Amino acid sequence: MKTTLADRRAMAKENAKWPLYLKPIPRELWPSERPDVLEVWRSRGFLVQIYAEKNGHIRMSVNRTMHTGDNWVAAITWDELMQLKRECGRGDLDALELFPADADVVNVANIRHLWFPPEPVVFKWTEGQ
């Protein structure tokens, strides 16, 4: 998606209207009806979408709300992902970020995905280990 300078200025103006922390977007304001979308959240800097996936997994997709002209701004840190996970009510759940095999890569935008398995992860590192 290419954007003009005017588009990016309009995005920046729209971003300034949003709070610093995630706010749920009512379903009637979502741009399309996709049956797998469970929740949409927005803040000044991020768009978060929650999807129902196979086998009871939930996927959280995260992208910034700023554009470079050629692509969405990247560089979402681990701390930001943790904070966003908390802000949309999933701070008490384990989440995984997957780096797929080369043959399975889908790279259409600067979007990060966290996967929430239906059960706690048994191989995680915990305090005291």
**pLDDT, tens digit, 9 for 90 and up, residues 62-78:** 999 987 777 777 889 99
128 in any annotated domain = no
124 in any annotated domain = no
Cα angle 78, 114, 110 (rounded to 5 degrees) comes to 75
Query: What total number of domains does the chain contain?
Result: 1
pLDDT score of 109 more than 80: no
pLDDT score of 32 more than 80: no
The enclosing H or E element of 87 equals helix 78-87
19 in any annotated domain = yes
123 in any annotated domain = no
Domain that holds residue 86: 5-116
87 in any annotated domain = yes
126 in any annotated domain = no
Instruction: State the CATH number of the domain containing residue 30.
Output: 3.40.1720
Mean of the per-residue pLDDT values of the chain? 90
